[in-house]
Amino acid sequence: QAQLVESGGGLVQPGGSLRLSCAASGFTFDHYAVGWFRQAPGNGREGLSCLQISDNNTYYEESVKGRFTISRNNAKNTVYLQMNSLKPEDSGVYYCAASRLSPFRLCVHPQTYGVDYWGKGALVTISS
């Protein structure tokens, strides 16, 4: 059974850092793009960063450029999101998703083109 499992969420002070992990199983990891989405209370899911596993092509949403870094460990079938200089507005539930789309289409148009797998989410709270 294919699944994505997020971990690494928690409470961090503004300006701090956090690393999220997304562990994939049950499907051929190398054939997919994997990305991170954030859903703040009352808002829809926003694509933050997406990565093509096969060639490392990446997409970053403007507000996280220079602060967040997406990376992968193919041996562990895991994608990471390193988040630095965190702000209160970065708070929300962070979801991992995988699809046979390009990173841009996965992050920017997930509803239009479809997502194959979603994780259950990890809560991130940025507060002093």
Residue from 60, 18, 16, 86 nearest 6 by CA:
18
Say how far apart CA 27 and CA 1 lie, in whole Å. 8
> What is the mean predicted confidence (pLDDT) over 33-40?
97
Render 42-64 in DSSP notation, one character per residue: TS-EEEEEEEETTT--EEE-GGG
What mean pLDDT do residues 78-98 have? Answer: 97
pLDDT at residue 69, rounded to an integer: 98
Asked if pLDDT for residue 56 goes beyond 90, the answer is no
Q: Does 60 have pLDDT greater than 90?
A: yes
Q: Can you give the pLDDT at residue 111?
A: 86
